[in-house]
């Protein structure tokens, strides 16, 4: 059986060690790089082109969603899986990750057996997230709908308005013209939105807006 090459990344050394042990000899996987930050993770993916990369969403340098955004923009072939620990962030991360082309979001509290099984499914080409393509109907469970509503409640009416206009592809200048406010004010609002939703760019914001329509 072919050995699956994996890059792992997490800000916690104990998690990295656990993944190293789990994906060690006899597992069918081979860890080719172990990274403690997002920047070294994306560099390892570019340089080594592993079959799979599994990485924490919250890392110094680059977040998991930023890694997804870069990999998507550069058409990197590695299948990407987000490893998330914060229960309250999971549905938000899942929505954004699905839109950004991830193969899955796996919680850190799953059993080792489930994690290995999930990674094997990814190796086989299975996505652990619903695809957001125009030719596929994606049904949302009630809890996802409820979460989407809760995400939107952290934003002000003006911020939700700007988020919707960003998803329509409008620039700051065009949004300012539409809402009759200055470009600088739009930048301030976007900064607050990015902080509240823990994302860092317009692409992810637009993807999140579309995923919650």
pLDDT in tens, 92-106: 566 666 666 788 888
Q: Single out the residue of 83, 4, 91, 3 nearest to residue 41, CA to CA.
A: 83
Taken in order 130, 131, 134, 135, is the CA torsion positive or negative? negative
Task: Specify the pTM.
Answer: 0.60
Average confidence (pLDDT) over 20-41: 92
Name the pLDDT band for 47 (thresholds 50, 70, 90): very high
Tally of CB atoms within 10 A around 102: 25
CATH 3.40.50.2300 positions along the chain are 4-123
Look at 10-19, 33-42, 101-110 and tell me which has the smallest mean pLDDT.
101-110
Q: What's the pLDDT at 93?
A: 63
Place of tokens 């607050």: 192
161-187 confidence digits (pLDDT tens): 898 888 777 888 889 999 999 888 898
Contact 30, 123 (CB under 8 A): no
Q: What's the pLDDT at 192?
A: 87
With a cut of 50, say whether residue 133 has pLDDT above it.
Answer: no
Contact 63, 200 (CB under 8 A): yes
With a cut of 50, say whether residue 132 has pLDDT above it.
Answer: no
CA distance 105 to 32: 21
Contact 99, 211 (CB under 8 A): yes
Contact 122, 63 (CB under 8 A): no
With a cut of 50, say whether residue 134 has pLDDT above it.
Answer: no
Structure-model confidence comparison of residues 55 and 167, the more confident one: 55
Look at 13-27, 106-120, 126-140, 145-159 and tell me which has the smallest mean pLDDT.
126-140
Calculate ∠ Cα 132-133-136, nearest 5°: 100
Q: What's the pLDDT at 140?
A: 38
Contact 45, 6 (CB under 8 A): no
Q: What's the pLDDT at 22?
A: 92
CATH 1.10.10.10 positions along the chain are 142-211
> Residue 56 pairs with which residues in a beta bridge?
83
Alpha helices in the chain (DSSP H): 13-22, 38-48, 64-73, 90-99, 112-123, 142-153, 157-167, 172-179, 183-197, 202-211
Superfamily designation of domain 4-123? Response regulator (3.40.50.2300)
Over the chain, what is the mean pLDDT? 79
CATH number of the structural domain 142-211:
1.10.10.10
Name the pLDDT band for 157 (thresholds 50, 70, 90): confident
């Amino acid at each position: 059986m072919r050995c699956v090459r994996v890059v792992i990344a997490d800000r916690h050394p104990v998690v990295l060690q656990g993944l190293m042990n789990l994906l060690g000899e006899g597992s069918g996987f081979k860890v080719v790089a172990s990274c403690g930050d997002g920047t070294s993770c994306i560099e390892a993916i570019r340089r080594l082109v592993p079959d799979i990369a599994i990485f924490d969403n919250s890392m110094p340098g680059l977040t998991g969603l930023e890694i997804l955004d870069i990999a998507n923009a550069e058409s990197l072939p590695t299948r990407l899986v987000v490893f998330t620990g914060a229960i309250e962030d999971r549905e938000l991360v899942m929505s954004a990750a699905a839109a950004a082309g991830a193969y899955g979001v796996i919680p850190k509290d799953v059993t080792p057996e489930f994690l290995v099984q999930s990674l094997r499914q990814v190796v086989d080409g299975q996505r652990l997230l619903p695809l957001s393509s125009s030719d596929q109907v994606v049904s949302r469970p009630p809890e996802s709908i409820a979460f989407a509503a809760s995400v939107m409640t952290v934003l002000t009416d003006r911020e939700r308005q700007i988020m919707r206009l960003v998803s329509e592809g409008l620039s700051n200048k065009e949004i300012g013209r539409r809402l009759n406010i200055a470009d600088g004010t739009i930048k301030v609002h976007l900064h607050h939105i990015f902080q509240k939703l823990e994302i860092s760019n317009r692409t992810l914001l637009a993807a999140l807006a579309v995923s919650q329509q």
